[in-house]
Chain A
Amino acid sequence: MSALRLALAYLRFHWVRSLVLILVAALIIATPLGVERLIAASEARMTARAEATPLLIGARGSRLDLAMAALYFSEDSPERLTMQAAEAVWESGLAEAMPLHLGFRAQSAPIVGATLDYFAFRGLTVAAGRPLALLGEAVLGAGVAARLGLGPGDAIVSSPENLFDLAGVYPLRMPVVGVLAETGGPDDMAVFVDLKTAWVIEGIGHGHEDVLPAGAEAGDIIADAALVAFREVTPDNIDSFHFHGAPADYPIDAIIAAPFDDRAATILRGRYLDRENPLQIVEPAEVVGGLFERVFRFKSVLDAVVAVVAGAAALAVGLAVFLSLQLRRREMQTAFRLGGRRSTVARLVATETVILLCLAFILALAILLMTEGSMAPIAAGLVAAA
């Protein structure tokens, strides 16, 4: 009891040193555990999204780029394909096809062109405003809306593809009609538009100003490059919007295919096995699983680094304790002279160490508990950054 009292008195007297030791030990304990939990949360998040996406169809090329773009809207765009591929899936009667148009951005957020089926497929619901209805409208993910401070009634402008390409893709100003409920996934960080709106941004669809002079007949239209391509779809000009070329040739970046049953999935996969086929089909869970295998290889290196750093820190703590014992030699001598036995002094030092470690464990636990809530958003951020 006296050892405990003396140890506490000592630690209290040297409170700065005690505090530093507790902090260092707590960080040594909390850091690897926190990293472990963060990686597990990120993995669970990425894997869940991949597993919730049965199949992806894209142009033959990098499977990883296709999966990362279609699942997490990464900036690395896969090779493009056309709407014909999506229609072929529909016509096969084997799966529901959800084409995705990716690649454009608005205020650093990815613009995702999709059909309404995508929202139902991902279980995305509108928390404020309404769903997409008209050409040119946008619905924001919860994260984008919070980051930009936008909501229904505001507008968002697509980023120009090329500042100096005056005849190229014009930015489109899109009214924000809704904000999606938070999902904790990449959908939170995206700006959603209808597929047709994405084609308007790309320049495939556009509107025209009325060039017919008063009193002129329709056949009198003589128009040239002076015609204006609209940068906003409004109730007044929406009727003039039209698309060029055959709809089957319109570009998309990926197709999410949701087969109607296992047999349909097998047949559908079989249709893209031919290496001559310009299209490929991938199982996102398999691709993301492969990615994690690589990540875990990297993680084992990370674990080794953490172990070395933790070992070094533990040695530093040990050294600090040893040095403090050296500094306390005179104090020990006094204890011996007062009749204290060697074991009593050892018990005193051991009690101090146990108290320090207990407090460090408590602090480490508190750190882990405090970061528990922010683990999901950090994992979501990591997933989005990936």
Chain B
Amino acid sequence: MRAALAALFMLCALVASAAEPLKVYAVNAPLADFAARLGGARVEAVFPVPAGRDPAFWRPPLALIAEFQAADLILLNGAGFASWTQKVSLPRSRVVDTSRGFADRYIETEGVTHSHGPEGAHSHAAVASYTWLDFRQAAEQARAVADALTRRAPDAEAEIAERLDALTADLSALDTRARAIGEALRDVRVIASHPRYQYLARAYGVEIASLDWEAGETPTEAQWRAFDHLREGAARVLMVWEAEPAPEASAALTGRGVAGAVFDPGAASDAQSRSFIDRMSANLDALEAALSSM
């Protein structure tokens, strides 16, 4: 009788745990994708940034902050991504900074210098935040997500570990492909429409000069002059767009004999609901296609 009751209790507990997946809120699409893939049915991954908004600079309304506060797990990218997280109250016990493990490898970018008080002038070194574009770093972030999920759902340790192995293998395959593309881009002048690709450049040995163009908008004359200045003296030039460029911009590039490729950094949600691996594979496909057209 007692054994039957115990079995019934365990069954109820299992049903209850199965009925209530962990609510995992993420600040960018890659982390939400990792959580969903690693947790399976045990996780409800939420990436609440509305479509069309840049998650790096988006600021959630109070109601969404309350949702983040109530989540079982809050996945931060670290490296200064989603600076709003530094200006809200979040429970430290449920926050995971997924890039903390390689914080010493953050890439510093140009900051702003100013002065206040008696301390004199000082500068705020900014940090490049699209850390997952180095696929080895992405694997480390995936591991951090897996560790956090395992702590929250220890009974799912084996299945999470199994899924992590599969995800790591996929990321490793991307890394291998990206390395080959990096080799092929050694003698190509690469210019990016936006400064998003610092980790990609470092990881795969590509030198990338960055502009500050809005994708989808037609560049002004001054912007084209800046572009021409950057490509001066280069035999082969590749323009990397973070999103589909305006047709006029594409035509102007073709007129200049410059190849173009769209490399979606993947921070925002995908209109086609593709996984992180699929989005990055498509990016690498685009780079390979551009290389072969040169």
Q: Is A187 an interface residue (CB 8 A)?
A: no
B62 contact set on A, CB distance < 8 A: 130, 133-134
Q: For the complex, what is the distance from the CA of A96 to the CA of B117, rounded to whole Å?
A: 37
- Whether the pair B89, A134 counts as a contact (CB closer than 8 A) is yes
Residue pair B92, A90 in contact (C-beta under 8 Å): yes
What B residues does A90 contact at CB under 8 A?
Answer: 92
- CB neighbours (8 Å) of A242 from chain B are 86, 124
Residues in A67-93 with C-beta less than 8 Å from chain B: 90
In contact, A238 and B87 (Cβ under 8 angstroms): yes
Q: Would you call A225 and B117 a contact (CB within 8 A)?
A: yes
Give the residues from 82 to 135 in chain B that come closer than 8 angstroms, CB to CB, to chain A: 83, 86-93, 112-118, 121-122, 124
| Chain B residues, CB < 8 A from A208 | 114, 116
Interface size on B, residues (CB 8 A): 24
Residue pair A116, B89 in contact (C-beta under 8 Å): yes
A-chain residues with CB within 8 Å of residue B117 when the two chains form the complex: 167, 203, 225, 229
Given A133-B69, A134-B65 in contact, is the A229-B88 Cβ separation under 8 Å?
no
Interface size class of A (residues with CB under 8 A): 35 or more
Q: Which of B83, B87, B91, B116 contacts A120 (CB 8 A)?
A: B91
A221 contacts B87, CB within 8 Å?
no
Min distance, Cβ A191 to any Cβ of chain B, angstroms: 14
B87 and A135 contacting across the interface, CB-CB below 8 Å:
yes
**Other-chain residue from B89, B113, B122 in contact with A115 (beta carbon distance below 8 A):** B89
Flag if A224 contacts B121 (CB, 8 Å). yes
Q: How far is the CA of A225 from the CA of B114 in the complex (A)?
A: 8
Taken together as a complex, chains A and B put the C-alpha atoms of A221 and B89 apart, in Å, by 31
Report the separation of the CA atoms of residues A241 and B113 in the bound assembly, to the nearest whole angstrom. 14
A203 vs chain B, min Cβ distance (A): 8
Please tell me if the beta carbons of A117 and B112 are within 8 angstroms of each other in the complex: no
**Is residue A132 contacting chain B, with contact meaning CB distance below 8 A?**
yes
Main secondary structure of the interface of A (DSSP, over half): loop
B59 within 8 A of A: yes
Q: Give the total number of A-B pairs whose CB atoms are below 8 A apart.
A: 81
- Interface membership of B252, Cβ < 8 A: no
Residue in B66, B83, B115 whose beta carbon sits within 8 Å of that of A227 in the complex: B115
Q: A167-B117, A227-B115 are in contact. Are A133 and B91 (CB under 8 A)?
A: no
Q: How far is the CB of B213 from chain A (nearest CB, A)?
A: 15
Contact call A117/B115, Cβ cutoff below 8 A = no
Q: Which residue of B lies closest to A91 (CB)?
A: B100
Name the A residues within 8 Å of B116 (CB-CB). 206, 208, 225, 227-229
A131 to B87, CA, bound (A): 14
Give every chain A residue within 8 A of B124 (Cβ-Cβ).
242, 244
CB distance from B63 to the nearest CB of A (A): 10
A223 pairs with B86, CB closer than 8 A? no
Q: Nearest chain-A residue to B63 (Cβ)?
A: A133
Q: Are A117 and B122 in contact (CB under 8 A)?
A: no
User: A283-340: which residues lie under 8 A (CB-CB) from chain B?
Assistant: none
Measured CB to CB, the nearest residue on chain B to A114 is B89
CB contact under 8 A between A223 and B114, given known A133-B65, A135-B87: yes
Name B's A-contacting residues (CB within 8 A): 59, 62, 65-66, 69, 83, 86-93, 112-118, 121-122, 124
Starting from the known contacts A98-B92, A132-B89, 10 additional A-B residue pairs (CB-CB under 8 Å) come to: A117-B92, A131-B66, A133-B66, A135-B88, A221-B113, A223-B114, A227-B114, A228-B116, A229-B117, A239-B87
List, sorted by A's number, 8 A–B pairs whose CB atoms are closer than 8 Å.
A115-B92, A117-B91, A117-B93, A133-B66, A211-B114, A227-B115, A239-B87, A242-B124
